[in-house]
Structure 1
Amino acid sequence: MVTAVSSATAASTSQTTSTASTAKSTLDYNSFLQLLVAEMSNQDPLNPTDSTEYVAQFATFSGVEQSIQTNSKLDSLMAVSALTQANSLIGRTITSADGATSGVVSAVRAGSTGIEAVLEGGGSVTLESGTEVQ
């Protein structure tokens, strides 16, 4: 049974999803500064906002952006780890989780559905829970 690689496969798939959603939802420093300037220029002159509040907002924004970058790096590291683990399958016989595909592994690759074992006969098997290695 291949379980460690299948969890890494899920991480690799979630990496693609999180990278796509991160690209949609990230706010760069220029956008943040534009929002900050707009907020400062539209504040109530009789009740101005304390400057420490702006510094706190900037620090929070910076922390969130750093967390997003860290998660991206960790996702990449997980994908590399999954490929390294899957590399040990080369030359071994595997059977897909549904039992329909079986063969000797000639290579491994990161496919659109996760880590795949390429069989000598030309087929491929996605490494997931239930995949048997002999």
Structure 2
Amino acid sequence: MNISALTNMTTNTGPGVANAAQTVDYQSFLKLLVAQMKNQDPTSPMDSTDYVAQLATFSQVEQSVQMNSKLDQILQASSFAQAGDLIGREVASADGKVSGIVKEVQLYSDGLVAVLEGGEKLIVGPGIVIK
């Protein structure tokens, strides 16, 4: 078995690698499948049920990625609704040191921050009291 072609390969560990893994589509999968069929050992070819299993697995992964995307959209919409409900209400931190009426709400990827009329900022999370 000749593996000299593998020794010349370079690996890319930059920030674009994670994005490239998420952009694999059916065309890419079919190209890989055809390449696998061309390069398989003719004396012991892969069973056709293995190809179907690979296609089904790829389909499940793609559906999971799409479902995660939809769940992220639902979570973001829920955060927007929660942010709108806080404006004009009185909030207090769990320890009671920071309190006031919410002037605006800032939405970040990891949660909400309420900006109070006095300029203080309060992370909206467990323990916060909303009146």
Q: TM-score, normalised by structure 2?
A: 0.72
Task: Please say if 1:76 is aligned against 2:76.
Answer: no
C-alpha separation between the residues in 1 aligned to 2:21 and 2:98?
40
Q: Which residue of 1 aligns with 2:38?
A: 41
Distance 2:109 2:100 in 1: 21
* CA distance 1:68–1:112, shift in 2 (3 Å): closer
- Using CA pairs under 8 Å that are at least 6 residues apart, name the structure with larger relative contact order, 1 or 2: 1
Which of 106, 122, 125 is equivalent to 2:122?
Answer: 125
Regions of 4+ moved over 3 Å = 22-25
Q: Secondary structure at the match of 2:43?
A: coil
- Where does the alignment leave 5 or more consecutive residues of structure 1 unmatched? 1-21
Range moving further from structure 2, 30-39 or 45-54: 30-39
Confirm or deny that 1:90 pairs with 2:114: no
2:83, 2:107 within 8 Å by CA — same for their partners in 1?
no
Structure 2 gap segments, 5+ residues each: 1-17
Assess if the C-alpha contact under 8 Å between 1:109 and 1:115 holds in 2.
yes
Structure 1 length normalisation: TM-score?
Answer: 0.70
User: What's the Cα RMSD here?
Assistant: 2.4
Normalized per residue, the structure richer in helix is 1
